[in-house]
Amino acid sequence: MASTGSLEIHTGRGLMPAYCAVPSGPPPWPGVVAIHDFTGMSHDLRAQADWLAGEGFLAVAPDLYYWGSRLGCLRTIMRDLGQRRGRSFDDIEAARRWLRTHSQCTGDVGVIGFCMGGGYAVALAAGRGFDAASVNYGGCPSDAEEWMSQACPIVGSFGSSDSSPLGGRAGRRLGRLLTQFEIPHDVKIYPGVGHGFMNNHDPQDQTLLLRLLARISGTKYDEAATATRDDESPSSSTATSETARRAEHSPAGRNRVFGRLAGPSRQGDVAGMSLPTRTLHTPRLRLRLRPVTDADAVFALHSSAYVLRYWDAPPRSTRPRAERFIAACRQMAAASASTRTSSSAA
């Protein structure tokens, strides 16, 4: 049984500390690996995982600095990112595998990262087994054109005022490449927003060096850019015109993240569907809830890019995912029937 709190994940080099956040709704849930920025394990990283759990994801946030000093680990991490392989990639794979094989996970796993972690999210989008990636001011590698054609769906958030190599210019290049390779994506550049706008770090997590780097790079949490939904406009009597202008282009309370990640708790597969609990007959059709024996037929449909070209989800790669989809449908139908029965009794 998953529970929110600290845990340790077995890697090829020892035990890696991580924070796990569990949704309040019934399982199974899609999973997300949350990768930290330069700060490492922090109050903000745990808050990001908690937010993901609140959105219906089983989230695990590994501490990539667990095996050494921050500077020592950073040297390895920067080398790994340049080569798209190495110890840190192995550690993240251990976290992905922990989620993928978890009994309460749907088997769909995404990755989200911020700044340095956003760089990982880009690098992990192709050929690493992730079903979706959320890149937050994480740049666009110089060699991305060589492998981006194999990427999973990507959501990207960048600030137009972020002049760092990870900022707006990189975001525009990422968007162009994803368009070129016809990869499903939603990359946005938010006007008037700088670097690090989604990370609200506690001062006690910030060393003198980190505070200096934040000042040099213009890294700063931006509540208006992060918290305001696209369909909410601040009242002119309580907000400045600049805040209102930027709120109109905000990341929608982060609701854009992982819109394409399949799972019973998210949009795309079964959310919002009206599921029949009995067989309905028409002159042409027989409508019934899918039995487990339909798994082969469901997989044949859900693994076809042609069939799913208008779906908000990528094709499925394994038959067990079709089985989990059927199980989730049946679970939702049972819950719906229970709710109707309770309402009638009341």
The residue-averaged pLDDT of 17-41 equals: 92
**Higher-confidence position of 47 and 217:** 47
Look at the pTM and tell me if it is higher than 0.75. Answer: no
The residue-averaged pLDDT of 93-113 equals: 94
**Separation of alpha carbons 116 and 137, rounded Å:** 8
Within 169-249, strands assigned E span 185-190
Nearest CA-CA partner of 31 in 55, 66, 7, 64: 55
Between the alpha carbon of residue 287 and those of residues 21, 267, 277, the distances in Å are: 38, 22, 10
* Residue 96 confidence (pLDDT): 96
Does 222 have pLDDT greater than 60?
yes
Percent of the chain residues topping a pLDDT of 90: 37
Nearest CA-CA partner of 141 in 114, 165, 161, 108: 165
The residue-averaged pLDDT of 95-105 equals: 94
8 Å CB contact between 129 and 109: yes
| Mean pLDDT taken over the chain | 78
Question: All domains of the chain, ordered by start, with CATH?
Answer: 5-254 (3.40.50.1820), 280-345 (no CATH)
* Residue 143 confidence (pLDDT): 92
* Residue 117 confidence (pLDDT): 93
* Residue 332 confidence (pLDDT): 63
Per-residue pLDDT reduced to its tens digit, 10-23? 998 899 999 999 99
Neighbours of 336 (CB within 10 A): 15
Per-residue pLDDT reduced to its tens digit, 159-175? 999 988 999 999 999 99
**Separation of alpha carbons 144 and 135, rounded Å:** 14
* Residue 2 confidence (pLDDT): 63
- Amino acid residing at 152: C
Within 22-99, strands assigned E span 29-35, 58-62
**Separation of alpha carbons 105 and 29, rounded Å:** 5
CA atoms within 13 A on the CB side of 42: 21
- Residue carrying structure tokens 């992060």: 226
**Separation of alpha carbons 294 and 322, rounded Å:** 9
Does 35 have pLDDT greater than 90?
yes
Per-residue pLDDT reduced to its tens digit, 197-207? 888 888 887 77
Q: Could you give the strand order of the β-sheet that contains 29-35, starting from the edge strand earlier in sequence? A: 5-11, 14-21, 58-62, 29-35, 105-114, 132-136, 154-159, 185-190
Does 253 have pLDDT greater than 50?
no
The residue-averaged pLDDT of 214-240 equals: 54
Per-residue pLDDT reduced to its tens digit, 116-125? 999 999 999 9
Encoding tokens for residue 264? 């019973």
**Higher-confidence position of 329 and 33:** 33
* DSSP per-residue letters across 133-149: EEEES----TTGGGTGG
**Higher-confidence position of 250 and 292:** 292
**Separation of alpha carbons 152 and 184, rounded Å:** 8
**Higher-confidence position of 314 and 293:** 293
**Higher-confidence position of 181 and 310:** 181
Binned at pLDDT 50, 70 and 90, residue 150 comes out as very high
* Residue 210 confidence (pLDDT): 75
**Separation of alpha carbons 180 and 186, rounded Å:** 14
Annotate 7-23 with b (16+ C-beta within 10 A) or e (fewer). bebebeeeebebbbbbb
Strand partners, 21: 59
